[in-house]
A and B are shown apart, each in its own frame.
With several copies, the nearest count.
Chain A
Amino acid sequence: MLTLLFLGRLEDVAGGPERHVDVAAPVTLSQICAQFDADLAAQISDPTTKIALNGVIVAGDDWRAGDGDELAFLPPVSGG
């Protein structure tokens, strides 16, 4: 099972802070997005959205997320 976390406003777009998906083999961002509706897929793929795989920021396309992994989608921050 792959855990997906949606931070900030992505929680509203995804309809909740967390999803769990079964993956037979490690998947790419495109393969994950293919399971989302168009709006969520677009926001997840937006360059302002950062992605953390097991708590480490990843960039580009050379990563895969598989069973037991946690993938977090981090929209632009607004702290302080």
Chain B
Amino acid sequence: MRDVRLIERDFDPSREMAQFSAAHDAAGGIVSFLGQVRREAGDAAVDMLELRHFGPLTVPGMEALADRALAHWPLAGVMALHRVGQMRPGDAIVLVACAARHRRDAFAAADFLMDHLKSRAWFWKREHTAAGWRWIEPRDEDRADLARWAHIP
């Protein structure tokens, strides 16, 4: 099962997880990653975060990514939910979950999905602090994380 969605409004990750785990209660194990809006950027307090996407590419790219994970690991299901729009500190940004018979597969697939959502998916992020809006640039660390998966077709 593949559940990939862009989410326009604040969502409840625990409700999504409850539904996903009910749908995969025979899988054995479910690994999830939840990203939430941080309260600070360096020394500055973040009061808002905005995520933009590009309609023609963002969801198809996320679907292709989920399919890559499903093709490589024996997974019972994959969920990848990503917020867009304006968010407040503490709001959920991204929720990924992978269900598998063997937990190592679920861990690897969730890790893979997050590394790619961070630095390959078509999202642009900016933060608002007292100093105004600032676009977030990709980090070298993100690119290094991605290089770990070069062997996955």
Which positions in A face B, CB cutoff 8 Å? 5, 7-9, 12, 52, 54-57, 72, 74-80
Contacts and interface: CB of A to CB of B under 8 A. Distances in A.
Interface string B122-153: 11111000000001111000000000000000
A77 B56 contact: no
Contact of A72 (B54, B123, B125): B54
Contacts of A7: 52, 54, 124
A79 B118 contact: yes
For the residues of B in contact with A, the DSSP-based class is mixed
Interface string B50-64: 011011110000000
A15 to B, nearest CB: 14
Given A8-B135, A76-B138, A80-B94, A57 B123 contact: no
Contacts of A9: 124, 126, 135, 137
B35 interface: yes
Contact of B123 (A12, A54, A78): A78
A78 B138 CA distance: 5
A13 to B, nearest CB: 10
Interface in B86-140: 93-94, 114, 117-126, 135-138
B93 A75 contact: no
